[in-house]
Chains A and B, each alone.
Chain A
Amino acid sequence: MIVLVARDEAMTSTNHEHEHEVNMAEPIKTEKTSYQGQMHLLQKEIMGRYFDQLTRAAEKGEGKAAYMLISGNPVEIVHAFDMIPVYPEINALQLAVKKAALPFILKAEEIGYSMDNCAYVKADIGLFLGDRKTAFATIPLPSLILCNYVGCNVYLQWFEHLAEHCDGEIYNLDVPFLRDPSGVPSKEDVEYVVRQLEEVIEICERLTGKKLDWAKLKKIVAISGETGELWSKIKALTKHVPSPFDNYFDSVTMMAPLYCLRGTEDGLRFFETALKEMEEKVRLGIGPLPEERYRFVIEGPPPWPYLRTFRDMFAKWGAVAVASTYSTVGGIWEFGFKHDPNHPLESIAQHMLQWNVTNRNFLQRYEQIARYIKEWSADALVIHSVKSCRLFSAGQGDMREYFTKELGVPTLLIESDIEDPRYFSEAQLKNRIDAFFESLEHRKLVRDKQAAGGNA
């Protein structure tokens, strides 16, 4: 059974933001509603289990933690050794969502981190240098700092700093950026990553005192493959009108199990449940909003500290994100990639090299967005530029130029931050978003009149 209830925060269940005031000029009435069914409850349950595991590792020494980054990682290998994946990005994200990031950011700035450094890093470092206790988990110290350098150069800095701060063991898993015009990694690139994965296996064997169980790894890779496939099916559903869910604001709910629990039975079960529920919504013609008036593609990470506020700025216009680049940071499955258990290391390497947005060049991102706009039938592009993440943001003015001038797609460029609440200017964002949708509304009106044979 489908119920529409007040929606909860994306990756947590405890956040309560103040309801913001209703804008006088809003064109349609929309409730602040969203889908919450089995999927959501299950997400809370399995993520809670994951965080409990971190806390037990930190407080009772159960298991060994491997720090990794989200974008294209070899978590399958880490799971094969029963090590515990810890993602500093998730730490930072959770702190931001729970509005607990700022004190940690300030702490990092006190010891020399700049106002202009990525606030994800600052929040995590601030946390790391303390007792690592948060409302969601206590973060264990790393047995291995496994820096999967996939695109983002700040990753290298981040893990280099963690290693200096705790004098821990670090391995830089270097993933060559996609730089060939073909958009495909070279044979040498793949070879290089596979050889490094073998070195990671050796390190894990040394740290755990166990030899790699290849059958186990293959099974985990197979689960990753199935999980990715389910996710791609879920994302394809937003091609329907109305879209059954918001492929940005709701996708982030699904990204937590995708990244933290990929390769586990829990993760697989979650996506089976999610697909069923979303298919049911398609069958019933239900979307996340009472009325879907606009379909947009959104580029860039969300403003975690104000996710709900930000979402409502679009919801009031009946605008639904039908596709997003952010939901592909940890992997692009919707264009056919699937982990292959028969070639475990090669397919992990392919995922890291080619099948995530982070390791793709900026022009490939233009292509990805253009494809979304076309195949997901979007009316507009919204670019959310965040200061913290220059990988995403640097040059988005050129992206806007391309989409407005070359492709004629209505494009809105707005700025805030992924982590630092000081960069969220609510009134300004609201004005920009309102003005944008007002102009779309006007266009629509003109178009409808022309279609009806009247004068614009």
Chain B
Amino acid sequence: MTNLEELVSLYREPLENSPLDIARERKKSHPDSKWVGCYPVYTPIELIHAGGMIPVGVIGAGNRLEIAHADSRFQSFVCSIVKSTLELGLTGLLDFLNGIVFHSICDPARNLGSVFKRNFPNLMVEYIHFPQNMTSPHTVNYLAAEYHRLKAVYEEVAGRAITDDDLRRSLAIYNEQRRLLRELYAIRADKPQNVSAVESYIVTRLATLMPPEEYIGILNDALATVRRRNEKPKDRIKVVLEGSFCEQPPIELIDGLEAAGCYLMDDDFLTGWRFFIEDIPVEGDPVHNLAEAYLRRSVYSGVKHDTRERKSKHLIDRVKETGAAAALILSAKFCEPALFDYALYRRALEKEGIPHLFLEFEEKMWIFDKARTEVETFVESMLFD
């Protein structure tokens, strides 16, 4: 059994250096396995897993990769993760993958899918169009059809059929994984002194880099540590963090936010890998269930436009539900969805009298002093006002 402290010291550095090394290393113990890369935000990983393959989160290149080729393909005003993902491909660091899937989250990510297709003709490159009409009764049929189309592609890569029972087994195992992650987040929201945001981040990130059968054991061990802890709360302000649903901030930055005096009651890091507020039903038509869950059981995100409720209301509700005193909007630089959302959030937060701080980051940033000072100033203004 690995306790949480050991886990963090084991994985923090590889996650900062080159997260996919962890997956590549794992693949060595499954030499015949097929791995399919999943670009953020959400992808139905169950469909990949049900084909006996392993979904792996291609969520940026960490904090160290130098961009030498991709910036001649994507302009200066395009976010880091688009370029770092292409750079990973162009430098052979995605060669261990049998395929990669992109999604309709934003315009650059969509074009990146096409650029991948052209530059890596031997790689299976898929693209999912997620529906943006959450009110029509016909949407679920569309999405189920989209998943069936995808399933056929995955069957080809896997070299075998994917049966309903395969998919039910995958739904069950990922239900368990997400249930445990929800528990981790619930503990943090309840007693943030017992698990830091960095610990929670590292534990969650590992979910994206290995088979769930192996990961769930690690997660259970980590939870056991967290459940045992009984730390005293510090004088910090409680905040909800929003805006980091795609490109991920450097771990050192997350560390800095806490050290500057915040408890992160909730965040949207790696949100696609925790996407559902409850289990997806296993009984019945599993493809339909997976599609239905996207529309009815998923969390809100900057890339889902659900007209059933105003977007800013979700954030306000979350601040209130978690008892947070403020909101921290942490957006990737040039991330158009997060930057647009900020304008709505700011308006709503001001209307509600909820203080907030807006910060931008890049996965490759390495100077954190400025961000930390800003957070410290913000925290002080709240603690001593």
Interface residues of A (CB under 8 A from B): 108, 111-114, 116-118, 121, 149, 152-154, 156-157, 160-161, 163-164, 170-174, 176-177, 179-180, 186, 188-189, 191-192, 195-196, 199, 361-363, 366, 385, 387, 389-391, 393-398, 401-402, 415
Task: Assess the A188–B343 pair: CB atoms within 8 A.
Answer: no
A192 to chain B, nearest CB (A): 4
Interface-side segment among B54-62, B112-120, B166-174, B209-217: B112-120
Known contacts A161-B343, A177-B104: A116-B77 contact under CB 8 Å: yes
B139 contacts the other chain (CB 8 A): yes
Determine whether the beta carbon of B139 is less than 8 Å from that of A113.
Answer: no
| Contact across chains for B138 and A196 when beta carbons are under 8 A apart | yes
Of all chain B residues, the one with the shortest Cβ separation from A156 is: B305
Given A153-B106, A196-B133, A398-B115, also A174-B139 (CB < 8 A): yes
Q: Which residue of the partner chain, among A163, A164, A395, A401, contacts B111 with CB atoms under 8 Å?
A: A395
Q: Mark B113-138, 1 if CB is under 8 A from A, else 0.
A: 11101110000000111011111101
Q: Is B75 an interface residue (CB 8 A)?
A: yes
Give Cα A363–Cα B133 distance, bound, in whole angstroms: 26
Among all A-B residue pairs, the 7 with the closest Cβ atoms: A362-B114, A394-B108, A188-B145, A174-B133, A192-B142, A112-B343, A114-B339
Output the nearest chain A residue to B145 by Cβ-Cβ distance. A188
Query: How far, in angstroms, from A174 to B113 measured CA to CA in the complex?
Result: 20
For residue A113, give the distance in angstroms from its CB to the closest CB of chain B. 5
Residues of B within 8 Å of A164, CB to CB, are: 310-312, 344, 347
Q: Is the CB of B305 within 8 A of A397?
A: no
Contact A117 B127 (CB under 8 A): no
Q: Which residues of A contact B105 (CB under 8 A)?
A: 153
Residues in chain A near residue B139, CB distance under 8 A: 174, 192
Question: Once bound together, how far apart are the Cα atoms of A171 and B119, in whole Å?
Answer: 37
Contacts of B71 in A (CB 8 A): 397
Known A196-B138, A394-B82, A398-B118; 7 more pairs at CB < 8 Å: A113-B343, A114-B340, A117-B336, A160-B344, A164-B344, A188-B141, A394-B78
Taking a contact as CB atoms under 8 Å apart, the answer to whether B142 and A117 are in contact is no
Q: In the bound complex, do residue B74 and residue A112 qualify as a contact, i.e. CB atoms below 8 Å apart? A: no
Judge whether B311 and A160 touch: CB under 8 Å. yes
- Main DSSP-derived SS at the B contact region: helix
Q: Which of B107, B110, B127, B346 has the most CB of A within 10 A?
A: B107
Residues of A within 8 A of B340 (CB): 113-114, 117, 121, 154, 157, 161
How far does the alpha carbon of A192 sit from the alpha carbon of B82 in the complex, in Å? 30
Interface 1/0s, chain B 68-110, versus A by CB < 8 A?
0001111101100010000000000000000000001111101
Q: Would you call B138 and A390 a contact (CB within 8 A)?
A: no
* Selected contact of A152 from candidates B107, B119, B307, B342, CB within 8 Å: B107
Chain B's closest residue to A109 (CB) is B343
Instruction: Tell me whether B346 and A195 are in contact (CB under 8 A).
Output: no
Query: How far apart are A323's CB and chain B's nearest CB, in angstroms?
Result: 21
- Bound complex: CA A179 to CA B77 (Å): 25
| Chain B residues in 8 Å Cβ range of A157 | 305, 336-337, 340-341
Known pairs A161-B340, A173-B133; A153 contacts B77 (CB<8 A): no
- Is B333 part of the contact surface with A, judged by Cβ < 8 Å? yes
B227 within 8 A of A: no
Least CB separation from A362: chain B residue: B114
CA distance A171 to B308 in the complex (A): 10
- Digitize B138-151: 1 where CB-to-A-CB distance is under 8 Å, 0 elsewhere: 11011001100100
Question: Across the A-B interface, how many residue pairs have beta carbons closer than 8 Å?
Answer: 169
In the docked arrangement, what's the CA distance between A156 and B107, Å? 11
Cross-chain contact B336 with A116 (CB below 8 angstroms): yes
A sample of 11 cross-chain residue pairs with beta-carbon separation below 8 angstroms, ordered by A number, consists of A111-B343, A112-B346, A117-B340, A152-B107, A153-B105, A157-B336, A171-B133, A192-B138, A362-B111, A366-B118, A396-B75
Contacts A179-B127, A390-B108; is A116 near B132 (CB within 8 Å)?
Answer: no
State whether B142 touches A188 (Cβ < 8 A). Answer: yes
A118 contacts B73, CB within 8 Å? no
Please state if B73 and A153 are interface contacts (CB–CB under 8 Å).
no
Contact pick for B136, options A156, A196, A389, CB 8 Å: A196
Within B290-306, the residues touching A (CB, 8 Å) are 303, 305
Q: Is the CB of A397 within 8 A of B73?
A: yes
Report the bound CA distance from A131 to B129 in whole Å. Answer: 37
Number of interface residues of B (CB under 8 A): 57
Contact B336 A390 (CB under 8 A): yes
Whether the pair B107, A153 counts as a contact (CB closer than 8 A) is yes
> Quick check: is B334 within 8 A (CB to CB) of the other chain?
yes
A154 contacts B344, CB within 8 Å?
Answer: no
Give, as a whole number of angstroms, the nearest-CB distance from A76 to chain B. 20
Complex Cα gap A376–B119 (Å) = 27
A107-B136 Cα distance, complex, nearest whole Å: 35
Whether B131 and A174, one on each chain, are in contact in the complex, defined by CB atoms closer than 8 angstroms, is yes
C-alpha gap A161/B341 in the complex (Å): 9
A339 to B341, CA, bound (A): 37
Cβ-defined contact, B339 with A394, below 8 A: no
CB closest chain-A residue, reference B305: A156
A153, A164, A361, A363 pick with most chain B CB within 10 angstroms? A153
* Residues on B with beta carbons closer than 8 Å to the beta carbon of A390: 77-78, 106-108, 111, 336
Contacts of B311 in A (CB 8 A): 160, 164
Q: How far is the CA of A242 from the CA of B113 in the complex (A)?
A: 38
**CB-CB < 8 A to A362: which residues of B?**
110-111, 113-115
The chain B residue with its CB closest to the CB of A145 is B307
CA distance A116 to B340 in the complex (A): 9
In whole angstroms, how far apart are the Cα atoms of A389 and B111 in the complex? 12
Say yes or no: A156 contacts B132, CB within 8 Å.
Answer: yes
Kindly state the separation between the CA atoms of A192 and B128 in the bound complex, as whole angstroms: 15
Shortest Cβ distance from A395 into B: residue: B111
Q: Are B118 and A154 interface neighbours, CB within 8 A?
A: no
- When C-beta atoms are compared, the residue in chain B nearest to A196 turns out to be B136
- Beta-carbon nearest neighbor of A161 in chain B: B344
Once the chains are docked, how many angstroms separate the CA of A199 from the CA of B137? 10
CB-CB under 8 A from B114, the residues of chain A are 361-363, 395
| CB–CB B339/A172 < 8 A | no
Nearest-Cβ distance from residue B329 to partner chain A, whole angstroms: 10
In the complex, are the beta carbons of A397 and B138 less than 8 A apart?
A: no
Taken together as a complex, chains A and B put the C-alpha atoms of A180 and B127 apart, in Å, by 9
B44 to chain A, nearest CB (A): 15
Q: How many angstroms between the C-alpha atoms of A116 and B107 in the bound complex?
A: 14
Assembly CA distance A161 to B75 (angstroms): 27
Question: Which of A156, A174, A389, A397 makes the CB contact (< 8 A) with B74?
Answer: A397
User: Please, how many angstroms separate the alpha-carbon atoms of A395 and B108 in the complex?
Assistant: 7
How far does the Cβ of A403 sit from chain B's closest Cβ, in whole Å? 12
Option from A116, A160, A389 in Cβ contact (under 8 Å) with B334: A116
In contact, A172 and B305 (Cβ under 8 angstroms):
yes
* Complex: A111 Cα to B348 Cα, angstroms: 11
Q: Which B residues touch A196, using CB under 8 A?
A: 133, 136, 138
Known: A161-B343, A196-B138. A172 touches B73 (CB 8 A): no
Which listed residue (B75, B134, B305, B310) contacts A394, Cβ 8 A? B75
**Residues of A close to B82: CB separation below 8 A:** 394
Given contacts A173-B133, A385-B75, contact A363 B118 (CB under 8 A): yes
